[in-house]
Amino acid sequence: MLVVHPWRDLRKYVEIRLEEAEAELRLAERFLEEGLYRNAAGKAFQAWKSLMAAIGAMYRDVLAKHFPGVVKTRDGKTVPRVDWVLAYMPTTRLREVAIRLRGVAEFDIVSLTDLALNLHEFQYNGVDKEAVLSRYTALDLAVSDLNYFIEKCKEVLRKAKTK
């Protein structure tokens, strides 16, 4: 898959990120079937980051108001900050981007982002009966959320592809 940055070709960038999300979701489902729950959570999270980047690019004008200015890339190019956020979609910015897109997204983008972040935490920490390192105190809770999240991601992906 050819990497195209949003500052070069926004339409192609959206297309590539949607393809990436679809591939990550397929892997998440396969890992889930194999009982590799933490790996499945990781792939589902990566799918969400790709979806967020694509959806953010679709509403670039909305995000541009909240991410003004420019950033220098590693290769020394100056690009709009909004495009840098879209290209890298840092985990630390996911919730902020979701909140900024809440008014234009046709689904509960903030709740799904929170769920993605919970699953990301589960990926690294697993089940924690004391709920100190992970919100999931039992595996069945994580698996239930993972199944739900994957289905919701597939719905979002289908809608995004028709735009």
Q: Where are the domains of the chain?
A: 10-59+91-161
The answer to whether 147 and 41 have CB atoms below 8 angstroms apart is: no
DSSP 3-state of 45: helix
**pTM recorded for the entire structure:** 0.94
For 103, the 3-state DSSP assignment is: coil
Q: Report DSSP state, residue 93.
A: G
pLDDT 10s digits, 120-144: 999 999 999 999 988 999 999 999 9
Contact between residue 138 and residue 130 where contact means Cβ atoms under 8 Å apart: no
CA pair distance 98, 118, nearest whole angstrom: 15
For 38-96, what is each residue's pLDDT tens digit? 999 999 999 999 999 999 999 999 999 999 999 998 889 899 999 999 999 999 999 99
What is the CATH number assigned to the segment(s) 10-59+91-161? 1.20.120.330
